[in-house]
Amino acid sequence: CGEGECGACSIFLDGKLVNSCCVPAINADGAEIITIDGFSETREFEIISKAYADAGAVQCGFCTPGFIMASAALLKELPAPSEDEIRIGISGNLCRCTGYTMIIEAVQIAAVNLAAERKAADV
C-alpha cells in the first residue's frame, strides 16, 4: 500500500521492525530481511504465536503476522513490558476483529513464557 497503516506487512530489516510496504527496494539491497515466514522457524515465534492462540487473540488472521512481529520486537527490547508499553509497542498495527484486550494479554503471556524459557536455558 505504501502507507504503513495496518502493520500487517511488518518485517525485520537489519534487526529493526519496519513496514515493508514503506521500504523502497533499493533501501533493502544487501540488508538482512526476516519476514514472518523466516521468523516462524524460531523458538521465539513458537512461544509468541502460542500465547496469541492461548489468549484468543486471533480471528481472521490478517493482522496476526504484524502483531507477532511487533510483539517480538517489543519483547526483545523490553522483556517485561507494562500494559502501557505493550500498547505503544503494538500501536502501528490494526485489528478490526478482536480488539486489543486479547492481544495485550497475548503479549503478557508471551513475556512470561519467554522469561521462563530464558531462565530454563540459564540453568
H/E/C letters for each residue in the chain? CCCCCCCCCEEEECCEEEEHHHCCHHHHCCCCEECHHHHCCCHHHHHHHHHHHHHCCCCCCCCHHHHHHHHHHHHHHCCCCCHHHHHHHCCCCCCCCCCCHHHHHHHHHHHHHHHHHHHHHHC
Q: Which fold has domain 39-122?
A: DNA polymerase; domain 1 (1.10.150)
CA distances from 65 to 10, 54, 60, 116, 121 (A): 7, 16, 11, 23, 27
Sole residue written with cell 514503506? 22
Residue 11's beta-bridge partner residues? Answer: 18
Tell me, what's the pLDDT at 59? 87
Q: Rounded mean pLDDT of the chain? A: 95
For the segment 95-113, the average pLDDT, to the nearest whole number, is 95
Q: What is the pLDDT of residues 33-89, one digit of tens each?
A: 999 999 999 999 999 999 999 999 998 999 999 999 999 999 999 999 999 999 999
Tell me, what's the pLDDT at 83? 98
Tell me, what's the pLDDT at 76? 97
Tell me, what's the pLDDT at 36? 98
- C-beta atoms surrounding 105 within 10 Å: 18
Tell me, what's the pLDDT at 2? 80
